[in-house]
């Protein structure tokens, strides 16, 4: 096997070209006055990780994330720098009329109230539930010592602050839509840190949100209003655009890592590129952004693998995305919104459905619609294996679908979204201990610091800055 001996040293190796790894690389390439040399090493033949898109017959199907929330100035700046800002033909903002979020209750999709007045008349909540919700400003902060527990679950947080009705009718379906998770086992502090921080600072969620609206507690990086976007050719346009801006010869696809060893405070890595050329390089920093369950497959030292055992065991339930296209005339529901989520009490095979062609242009040909059906998750992982007919029967009941689809694309993720469970702090502590014991090692990805595309991008950009400033 040929060996490349042109350069035996480099500043940083980044393993994994998902959105986090790409943003680390972009930050290193853009933020260094003296060129910071790095290798971005990816085993597959494409960038983006779970962010992939398929176009066929005028339909567009996302394999993973369906949109990007622009709420931070740093994301807006990045999009501008890579040519995906508002001046680009690629950027596709969510339609302003597609704002409704439906919750399925008693077999009927009911629109979530969009304002306080709509809340008073919403059939989703009883009068007692509405009164309990309005009592939220008078509820005190969580006291861990009183409850003999360091962590509070998302479900307990919502019950304590807003009551059981809001949990069942709105908050729990919301968790299913974001995490495909179980609200009883997710940590409020880690899974929803912004909600937790509002309570810590303002005591009341309602009062804290009011304070933010009037500018008392604004983040200097926050954009108002925030914007939900995608891209004309799909979400994969985002990682592709970032990759196109990386320095020449820094991105390596189709690679195989043969060994990773520490020596004299640096990292010796032997890897083969797509052409079979063997590279043996010495790096000051090693950034690993692969999913947690894949950490054990890397040729790391046994002591590192052992110290990260709990990270490899982070629950990541199976999730399936089934994208179906129909003629518009074959669906009776107006599809006038973002999509619908399903209450657990409905015993539905669906977590929810995104009305993809209502949200964004270029998702279906003229006279057709595009539905993205989500299944599986922590509570009902077996539903990830639903066959099409089960889904079609449910769509007929909920949305009035009366014909077979004219388009189909299915993506199954056996280990999809990391769950920030009640023992998550211990897992974070083990990561920090591992990094401190192995100078130059950095672990990043959607299992640390937030699961959303936005969080992964921000965490990657920030990590790149930290490495340069060391």
Q: What pairs with residue 262 in β-bridges?
A: 267
What are the backbone dihedrals phi and psi of residue 63, each rounded to the nearest 5 degrees, phi first? Answer: -80, -30
Domains of the chain: 3-50+235-314+420-469 (3.50.50.60), 53-97+315-413 (3.90.660.20), 125-140+150-219 (1.10.3110.10)
Q: Count other Cβ atoms within 10 Å, centred on residue 136.
A: 16
| Bond prior to 225 in cis (omega within 30° of 0) | yes
The pLDDT value recorded for residue 150 is: 77
Residues 326 and 401: beta-carbon distance below 8 Å: yes
The pLDDT value recorded for residue 86 is: 78
The pLDDT value recorded for residue 62 is: 98
- Per-residue pLDDT of 274-291, as tens digits, reads 999 999 999 999 999 999
- Per-residue pLDDT of 141-180, as tens digits, reads 887 655 556 799 999 999 999 999 999 999 999 999 999 9
Dihedral sign from CA coordinates of 157, 179, 352, 208: positive
At residue 54, the 3 state secondary structure works out as: strand
Residues in the chain, pLDDT under 50: 5-6
The pLDDT value recorded for residue 353 is: 98
Q: Which tokens hold the place of 461? A: 């950009």
- Per-residue pLDDT of 231-245, as tens digits, reads 999 999 999 999 999
Residues 217 and 202: beta-carbon distance below 8 Å: yes
What are the backbone dihedrals phi and psi of residue 264, each rounded to the nearest 5 degrees, phi first? Answer: 55, 45
Calculate the dihedral angle through the C-alpha atoms of 200, 203, 208, 214, rounding to the nearest 10 degrees: -110
Task: Please enumerate in sequence order all residues whose Cβ is within 8 A of that of 200, keeping only pairs 6 or more positions apart, or say none.
Answer: 141
Number of H helices, E strands in the chain: 18, 20
Q: Which tokens hold the place of 265? A: 């405070």
Q: Based on the number of CB atoms within 10 Å of its own CB, is 138 exposed (0-12), middle (13-18) or buried (19 or more)? A: exposed
Helices (H), 278-373: 302-307, 309-312, 356-359
Q: Could you give the CA distance from residue 451 to residue 20 in angstroms, rounded to a whole number?
A: 11
Q: Could you give the CA distance from residue 19 to residue 8 in angstroms, rounded to a whole number?
A: 27
Q: Could you give the CA distance from residue 426 to residue 432 in angstroms, rounded to a whole number?
A: 10
The pLDDT value recorded for residue 215 is: 66
Q: Based on the number of CB atoms within 10 Å of its own CB, is 105 exposed (0-12), middle (13-18) or buried (19 or more)? A: middle
Q: Which tokens hold the place of 447? A: 């299992």
The pLDDT value recorded for residue 143 is: 78
Strand order through the sheet with 222-231 = 68-72, 222-231, 91-93
Residues 404 and 167: beta-carbon distance below 8 Å: no
Which pTM value belongs to this model?
A: 0.93
- Extract the runs of DSSP E, i.e. beta strands, from 180-318: 222-231, 251-252, 256-263, 266-272, 278-288
Q: Based on the number of CB atoms within 10 Å of its own CB, is 220 exposed (0-12), middle (13-18) or buried (19 or more)? A: exposed
Q: Could you give the CA distance from residue 309 to residue 293 in angstroms, rounded to a whole number?
A: 9
Angle formed by the axes of helices 453-469 and 73-81, nearest 10°? 80
Helices (H), 122-187: 127-134, 144-147, 154-162, 164-166, 172-179
Q: Based on the number of CB atoms within 10 Å of its own CB, is 217 exposed (0-12), middle (13-18) or buried (19 or more)? A: middle
Q: Could you give the CA distance from residue 193 to residue 402 in angstroms, rounded to a whole number?
A: 42
Q: Which of 313, 385, 323 is nearest to 349 (CA)?
A: 385
């Amino acid at each position: 096997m040929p060996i490349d001996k042109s350069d035996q040293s480099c500043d940083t190796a980044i393993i994994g070209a998902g959105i986090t790894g790409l943003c680390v690389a972009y930050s290193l390439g853009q933020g260094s006055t003296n060129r910071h040399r790095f290798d971005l090493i990816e085993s597959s033949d494409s960038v983006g990780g779970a962010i992939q898109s398929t176009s066929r017959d005028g339909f567009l199907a996302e394999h993973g994330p369906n949109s990007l929330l622009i709420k931070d100035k740093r994301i807006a700046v990045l999009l501008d720098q890579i040519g995906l800002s508002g001046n680009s033909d690629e950027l596709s903002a969510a339609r302003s009329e597609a704002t409704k979020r439906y919750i399925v209750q008693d077999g009927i999709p009911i629109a979530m109230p969009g304002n306080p007045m709509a809340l008073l008349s919403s059939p989703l909540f009883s009068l007692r539930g509405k009164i309990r919700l309005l009592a939220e400003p008078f509820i005190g902060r969580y006291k861990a010592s009183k409850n003999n527990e360091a962590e509070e679950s998302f479900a307990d947080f919502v019950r304590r602050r807003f009551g059981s009705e809001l949990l069942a009718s709105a908050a729990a379906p919301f968790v299913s839509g974001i995490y495909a998770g179980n609200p009883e086992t997710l940590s409020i502090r880690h899974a929803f840190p912004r909600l937790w921080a509002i309570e810590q600072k303002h005591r009341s969620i309602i009062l804290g949100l009011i304070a933010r609206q009037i500018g008392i507690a604004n983040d200097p990086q926050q954009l108002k209003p925030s914007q939900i976007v995608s891209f004309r050719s799909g979400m994969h346009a985002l990682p592709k655009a970032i990759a196109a801006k990386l320095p020449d010869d820094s991105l390596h696809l189709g690679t195989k890592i043969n060994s990773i060893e520490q020596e004299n405070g640096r990292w010796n890595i032997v890897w083969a590129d797509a052409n079979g050329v063997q590279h043996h390089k010495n790096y000051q920093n090693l950034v690993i952004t692969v999913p947690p369950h894949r950490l054990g497959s890397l040729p790391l030292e046994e002591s590192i693998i052992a110290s990260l055992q709990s990270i490899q065991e982070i629950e990541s339930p199976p999730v399936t995305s089934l994208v179906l296209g129909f003629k518009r005339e074959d669906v009776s529901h107006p599809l006038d919104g973002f999509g619908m989520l399903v209450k657990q009490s409905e015993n539905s095979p669906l977590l929810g459905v995104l009305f993809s062609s209502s949200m964004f242009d270029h998702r279906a040909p003229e006279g057709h619609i595009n539905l993205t059906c989500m299944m599986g998750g922590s509570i009902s992982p077996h539903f990830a294996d639903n066959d099409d007919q089960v889904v079609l029967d449910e769509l007929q009941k909920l949305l009035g679908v009366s014909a077979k689809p004219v388009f189909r694309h299915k993506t199954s993720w056996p280990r999809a979204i990391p769950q920030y469970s009640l023992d998550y702090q211990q897992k974070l502590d083990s990561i920090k201990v591992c990094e401190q014991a192995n100078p130059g090692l950095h672990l990043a990805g959607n299992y640390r610091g937030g699961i959303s595309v936005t969080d992964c991008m921000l965490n990657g950009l920030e990590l790149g800055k930290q490495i340069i400033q060391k």
